[in-house]
Amino acid sequence: MNKQITPGTEQINRVFMRRVIILGVLIFLGLGGLIARYGFLQVYAHDRYRTQADNNRIKLISAPPSRGYIYDRNGILLADNQPVFTAMISADAIEDPERVLNLLAPIFDLSDDDIKDILARLAKSKNDPVTVKIDLTETQLAQFSERKPFFPGVTIESKLTRSYPYDELFAHVIGYVGRINDKETKRIDKDRYAGTDLIGKIGIEDHYEDILLGQPGYQSVETDAHGNIIRQLETKPPVAGNDITLSLDYGLQTVAQQQLDGRRGAIVAIDPMTGDVLAFVSNPSYDPNPFISGISFKDYGALRDDLDQPLYNRALQGMYPPGSTIKPFEGLGGIHYGLRDWNTTIYDPGYFSLPGDSHRFRDWKKGGHGTVDLKKSVVMSVDTYYYKLAYEMGIQRLHDWMVKFGFGEPTGIDLPNEKAGIMPSPQWKKETYDKGWLPGETISVSIGQGYFLATPLQIANATAMTANQGNHITPHLLKSSEGAAAVKVITKPDGKIDYNGKPSDWLRMHDAMENVVKAGTGRGIYTDRYRIAGKTGTAQVKSIAQGKSYNKAALDKRHWDHAWFNGFAPVENPEIALAVLVENGGGGSAVAAPIGRALFDYWILQRKEDPILPPTPDQLKIIKHHKALEKARLDAIRDAQAKEEEAALALKEQQAAEASSAANTASPAT
């Protein structure tokens, strides 16, 4: 029996078949689209998407180089590299960096300014990790470890950072490194500083930045979806920065700082035969270590506002009237121009007046020194001799001669920001003050006063060139360098002072300066154990009216004269030339000369037999602990004083307000 198909069933079958066909077409089109897309991705866009995939899977990690070490001439380590824990943040792993940094702030002690700085660096980082905090404490590490799951994209890495074991002893010469700022970011080669946060800011660290830095390397690593490293693919090792050895001597530097302890001043010592700088001290000094990771605003403010200016490099940048220290150089200028010889004499009545002028430029000795030749003028530091000499020489010739000794221009030492001092001339005054030169100004300049200003470094360098009989030297701190970078090292004089006199004149000036110490203004430091040549100087700070005498007791201590001493030893074969400045120290003979003698004694008598050595690591820890306690004590005193001042000011304002209120409410008199 045949089954009969009803019209309704046939219609249903047709609808079903149409749907099957439509669905099949859609499936076919979908598969075709998938195949086409697959072909597009695999063929046409293969390179682009492979790169993106690799970027998600493969990371290039910068490998910063080890910064070069810095040593003194005896191999004592002055600038070290220490491993520290550093917090890093990666912008590509964080949706809201500002929120994360605000949460990290109490853990890492971040200020609002710190957060702004980190965000600015993240914006320019191109997904490279950015440093959040250097040198984390154990407490900070523990607090972060407890909360680590809440901070994806924030990691703790072990990095090398700078350390200066002897704190303030070498601060003004070695300087320090610090975090790269926005201004530096614009000028540096970013590839060379990949993975590096620190850059030399001042001193040797700045001047030799290029060779100390080294060359960065990299590591190519494969990571999982969470950023964890699975395996290392490729490595290019970094090239360490050059190690450099300085000409400085730890022992002599220590003696110099000890001699200036409690006094503002500077000492520079130079080897006259090579130009090696043996000691370079500015006092007071400061600890450079806090600047590495970022000194607090409070601590920096205390240094900046300190009346004694510990951040000020007096040896390099301090410009002072040189006083009588210049007389040996000036005296040789008289011979150079044919105005004097060793037998020429003048009569010193105790004063000098310009022709046609009644004003008396007085000698330091009332009544004068009588008949004076060049040797006596140096031994007894006779002002009148140099008044007359400078008047005959004229300011222009005096300027031209003193420039030969390095006055009025930088010495060229391998330190940044050296001041040139002032060796005045008519042209200089015209350019500076738009006024003509006056004859009386030449007289002031002749004894290292008036417009004449020099740095302690310039005085030491001029003294060294006198000691080596007129050979020109450029003072330098670099003694040697080891590493991949080629470095030019100075080892000898680089010229000769153009001098019209006899070669023996230099030796006769040595004899005159030796007699300063034997029988003249520096006789208080004489010793028969070796021969010292020297010159004392006292530079006036506050001018004294005509006819008045200097009354030290009536002056504020910061208006006392500056004390100078410059000299060299041993006379027959100079090994060390130096300049000592004590700000507002009073007399050069009584204050500065004994300091010079202490340095000579160490260098000539003690250095080889019993050198001063640095403390052991354990001793260093104790010293640093005591310094930390002392700093905490001084901080507490400063905080208490600040609170007292605030309270006193608040009370004063309250009393003023109450007085004003009482006056306003009082009834008028009838």
Distances (CA, A) of 100 to 97, 117, 179, 293, 468: 5, 14, 21, 21, 64
Q: Could you tell me if 146 and 189 lie in one domain? A: yes
For position 132, which CATH number holds? 3.90.1310.10
Is 481 designated active site? no
Q: Is the pLDDT of residue 592 over 50?
A: yes
- Examine the domain organization and report whether 135 and 242 are in the same domain: yes
Average pLDDT over residues 227-232: 64
How many domains, the chain?
3
Among 185, 215, 246, the domain boundary falls at 246
Q: Is residue 371 part of a domain?
A: yes
In DSSP terms, 236 is beta-bridged to 218
Q: Based on the fold, state whether residues 305 and 382 are members of the same structural domain.
A: yes
Identify whether residues 358 and 498 lie together within a single domain: yes
CA–CA gap between residue 71 and residue 68 (Å, rounded): 10
Q: Which amino acid is at 570?
A: P
> Half-sphere exposure of 529 toward its Cβ, with a 13 Å CA cutoff?
10
Same domain, 212 and 319: no
> Is the pLDDT score of 344 beyond 70?
yes
**377 contacts 387 by C-beta, under 8 angstroms:** no
Cβ–Cβ under 8 Å, residues 353 and 359: yes
Confidence of residue 235 (pLDDT cuts 50, 70, 90): confident
Of 216, 246, 276, at which residue does a domain stop? Answer: 246
Tell me the residue range of the domain where 395 lies: 250-606
Which residues fall within 8 angstroms of residue 143, CB to CB, at 6 or more apart?
Answer: 107
Are 413 and 523 part of one and the same domain? yes
Do 344 and 283 sit in the same domain of this protein? Answer: yes
Q: Do 458 and 555 fall into the same domain?
A: yes
Identify whether 51 is part of a domain: no
Instruction: Name the catalytic one among 293, 324, 377, 444.
Output: 324
Could you tell me if 222 and 351 lie in one domain?
A: no
Q: C-alpha angle with apex 571: 568 to 577, nearest 5 degrees?
A: 15
Q: At what angle do helices 593-601 and 250-260 cross, to 10 degrees?
A: 160
- Among residues 187, 189, 129, the alpha carbon closest in space to that of 159 is found at 129
**Residue that finishes a domain, picked among 573, 589, 606:** 606
> Is residue 145 in some structural domain?
yes
Domain membership of residue 29 (yes or no) is no
Greater confidence (335 vs 231) lies with 335
Residue 11: per-residue pLDDT: 78
Under a CB-based contact definition with an 8 Å cutoff, are residues 180 and 118 in contact?
no
Whether 445 is in a domain gets the answer yes
Q: Answer whether residue 46 shows pLDDT above 70.
A: no
* Whole-number Å distance between alpha carbons of 310 and 286: 6
- Between CA 380 and CA 519 the distance in angstroms is 9
H/E stretch holding 120 = helix 112-123
Domain at 544, CATH number: 3.40.710.10
pTM: 0.83
Q: Are strands 243-246 and 70-71 parallel, antiparallel or unpaired?
A: parallel
In a domain, 24, yes or no: no
Compare 553 and 195 and report the one with higher pLDDT.
Answer: 195
Amino acid identity of residue 545, one-letter, is A
Q: Is pLDDT of 303 > 60?
A: yes
In this structure, the answer to whether residues 241 and 255 fall within a common structural domain is no
Mean pLDDT of the chain: 88
Q: What is the mean pLDDT of residues 436-455?
A: 96
Integer Cα distance of 492 and 474 in angstroms: 9
Dump pLDDT digits (tens) for 76-119: 999 999 988 888 888 777 778 888 888 888 888 888 888 888 88
**Does residue 36 fall inside a structural domain?**
no
Model confidence at 47, pLDDT cuts 50, 70, 90, reads low
Same domain, residue pair 197 and 288: no
| Residue 48 covered by a domain | no
What pLDDT is attached to residue 670? 35
Question: What pLDDT does residue 483 have?
Answer: 92
Q: Considering only 253-262, 351-360, 518-527, 647-656, which range has the smallest mean pLDDT?
A: 647-656
404 and 264 in a single domain? The answer is yes
